[in-house]
Chain A
Amino acid sequence: MRIAIASGKGGTGKTTVATNLAFYLKHFDNTDVTLIDCDVEEPNSHIFLRPDCQEPKVVTVPVPVVQEDLCTACGKCAEICQFNAIACVKEKVLIFPELCHGCGGCLLVCPTGAITEKQREIGVVENGKGKDIKLVYGRLHVGEAMSPPLIRAVKEFSPVTTDEIQLIDCPPGTSCPVITAVSGSDFVLLVTEPTPFGLNDLKLAVEMVRILDIPFAVGINRSTADNNMVQDYCRTEGIPVILNIPHDRRIAEAYSTGKLILESLPEYHEQFSQVLGYIKGVLS
């Protein structure tokens, strides 16, 4: 079973929910769990789990190389490239590897076989165990524009099995990296906060998961009694709210020292138990 923890807005508490849910599963529910941190541009689950990592696995993408003596500058490669990674000007082909998605289209259309591929390193996959929880995460190299190939590699590192629950800590937003991270999940938990930004981006995220057609529910972080904007929206839309983490100073204090909520404040286990109960109910 794969559960994705996503959000529209960044900084709403995806990692807080993902790491605590993982901790709950392992230490309160006795269930094997792998946490897959797909926020490869700024992974942070490891800060809370502090895993002993194995040797990182290098991830590459194929990029085209032009053999100039075979190239006739016909421009077919530049024409087929949907990502503007190839320009053909005045008998010369220019390649911009950082824009290349590695689709291989240019190789297929080159009439003289002038294009070959080389591998370009974009990041690494780390894996280890911390607080008895298996953690896999990606680290995209600084300056890289495209995270989906690395996100795919992170997910492939830990194939779905029936022996464990996998939690996917997604990048924020609703664009390609999020779609790549969420795809193939059995359930999505959308984490938000009761602010106008949180609500606005939640609506975008809801649109996204509806298109992906994956069962989902909402979790509210930093929830306060006097602010019901997210609850009101969810009620109108018929979306279940299955988690409420209150705006509790003690949580922020634990967080600031790299501790999980459930390590410092085990009384919150009930919240995570409900989340799991709900998801299991939906998927059974």
Chain B
Amino acid sequence: MKIAISSKGNTLESATDPRFGRAQQFIIYDLDNGTHSTFNNTQNLTSSHGAGIQTAQNIINAGADLVITGNVGPNAFNVLNSAGVKIYLTSGLTVQEAIEKYKKGELENVSSNTVEGHWV
């Protein structure tokens, strides 16, 4: 089972990035064996529209089963939800701390978008 965590850096000590679509990076953490890899999201950081959609597609294709991030908009939620990816929220933690909290069942699971789209 793989977790994608929006992150401001490429280590487990990095701060989580509150943004989803325009997160700087994603840490893909494998719960089964404790390994992780990073996923650079710069391309979507600078896209004019649809960053959430593209980011969601990319992390799904990277094999993520769940996402830990700060917020998700309606389109990103739609893509993640259609692929059965669960979404958990965090703020102000490092990637490692967020993973630990998830393991203890202390992160909030969301069943709809938490913010509105940016063009509305």
* Pairing of A with B: yes
Q: Which residues of B contact A85 (CB under 8 A)?
A: 50, 53
Q: How far is the CB of A8 from chain B (nearest CB, A)?
A: 19
Comparing A53-61, A89-97, A117-125, A231-239, the segment that makes contact with chain B is A89-97
Asked if A78 and B57 make an inter-chain contact with CB atoms under 8 angstroms apart, the answer reads yes
Closest chain A residue to B47 by CB distance?
A84
Contact with B along A132-176 (1 / 0, CB 8 A): 000000000001010000000000000000000000000000000
Interface assignment of B79: CB less than 8 Å from any CB of chain A: yes
Q: How many residues of A contact B (CB 8 A)?
A: 15
Interface assignment of A87: CB less than 8 Å from any CB of chain B: yes
Please report the C-alpha to C-alpha distance between residue A143 and residue B53 in the assembled complex, in whole angstroms: 18
Asked if B47 and A89 make an inter-chain contact with CB atoms under 8 angstroms apart, the answer reads no
Asked if A99 and B49 make an inter-chain contact with CB atoms under 8 angstroms apart, the answer reads yes
Contact with B along A86-115 (1 / 0, CB 8 A): 011110101010110000000000000000
Question: Which one of B49, B75, B79, B119 contacts A89 once the chains associate, using CB atoms below 8 Å?
Answer: B79
Interface assignment of B120: CB less than 8 Å from any CB of chain A: yes
Q: Which residues of A contact B57 (CB under 8 A)?
A: 78, 87-89
Q: Which residue among A84, A90, A94, A99 has the maximum number of chain B CB atoms within 10 Å of its CB?
A: A84
Interface assignment of B28: CB less than 8 Å from any CB of chain A: no
Asked if A99 and B84 make an inter-chain contact with CB atoms under 8 angstroms apart, the answer reads no
Asked if A99 and B82 make an inter-chain contact with CB atoms under 8 angstroms apart, the answer reads no
Interface assignment of B3: CB less than 8 Å from any CB of chain A: no
Q: Which 5 A-B pairs have the closest CB atoms?
A: A84-B50, A145-B119, A89-B83, A87-B57, A84-B54
Chain A positions within 8 Å of B, measured between CB atoms, are 78, 83-85, 87-90, 92, 94, 96, 98-99, 143, 145
